[in-house]
Amino acid sequence: MTSTHRAPTPLTRPARLRPGARVAVVATSGPVVGERLDAGLDILRGWDLDPVVMPHVRDRHPEFGYLAGGDEGRARDLQEAWCDPSVDAVLVARGGYGAQRMVDLLDWDAMRAAGPKVLVGYSDVTALHEAFAMRLGLATLYGPMVSAATFLKDDPTQRSLRTTLFEPEAARILAPEGARPLVPGRARGVTVGGCLALLAADLATPHARRSARGGLLLIEDIGEEDYRIDRILTQLLRSGWLDGVAGVALGSWEECGPYEKVRAVLYERLAPLGVPVVEHFGFGHCTPSLTMPLGVPAVLDADAGTLTLEVPALV
């Protein structure tokens, strides 16, 4: 199948953070552990940020224990934070599941009128990264969440996010230790991607990305066995979503079974694309975890194990 859709174009980059910046913390998906949230807020304050916790962050859904409160409350928190002119960034408290349920409850016109600001999160937040790219034309950060164990305990993970937020020009070359070519080569494109299962779940939904053509695809996942990864990649291949992708960077595959089995599936499904593929790129559900900009032009060098941003993630 040949896609006729345009390649991704560089998206609008929000402003970097300055000391004293006000950042809103939202819970878009699963319920938050209070002690972990408090510890994450202390880290942000130590960076001279002013975190504000939105009203429904500590909620729990009365029936579905996998959700942090009702869809309307989670959506209201995100929208009010985004539309608050005193807020410079919105940081997600945790992943899990639930972001998809509230995407279509947001007032995208109002959020577009509020102007660009920073969005940070990973895993289930992929649904929001895609929505922000397609509906707002905004670059975002696929990075650690405020109450995630990796963020709380791992210095390199914290440093990667902090540098990207405050000194983005110092985070233009991403070169994780251990990165190596699965398929050699070098490619240029605009970064797209996130959690593999969430990208597939977005297919055919309102305003969804029709194709990753011309993009540098960043993918990772957690808790998906080799046959499930096969199924998801096959769905993306059959739909034409991967037609013309420029290159692929593979992050972590935590709790997905023996990596040699996962690696075999990734190679068998992705190598026929004929583009560079780099593995062990150190982002997603791993420790340490790099902060990966989405919507930014970059060069992927699979042989060198590097992703070089052509411009800083934030202006």
Residues labelled as active-site residues: 123, 220, 285
Nearest CA among 25, 75, 77, 33 for reference residue 53: 25
Beta-strand ranges (E) seen in the chain are: 22-26, 50-53, 89-92, 118-121, 140-142, 173-174, 180-183, 186-195, 215-222, 247-254, 277-279, 292-294, 297-301, 306-309
Residue type, 162: R
Cβ distance 262 to 226 under 8 Å?
yes
- How many whole angstroms separate alpha carbon 218 and alpha carbon 196? 9
Cβ distance 254 to 222 under 8 Å?
yes
Cβ distance 304 to 209 under 8 Å?
no
Cβ distance 57 to 147 under 8 Å?
no
- How many whole angstroms separate alpha carbon 278 and alpha carbon 266? 11
- How many whole angstroms separate alpha carbon 201 and alpha carbon 29? 15
Cα Rg of the chain (Å, integer): 18
Q: Which residues contact 287 (CB under 8 A, 6 or more apart)?
A: 150, 153, 154, 157
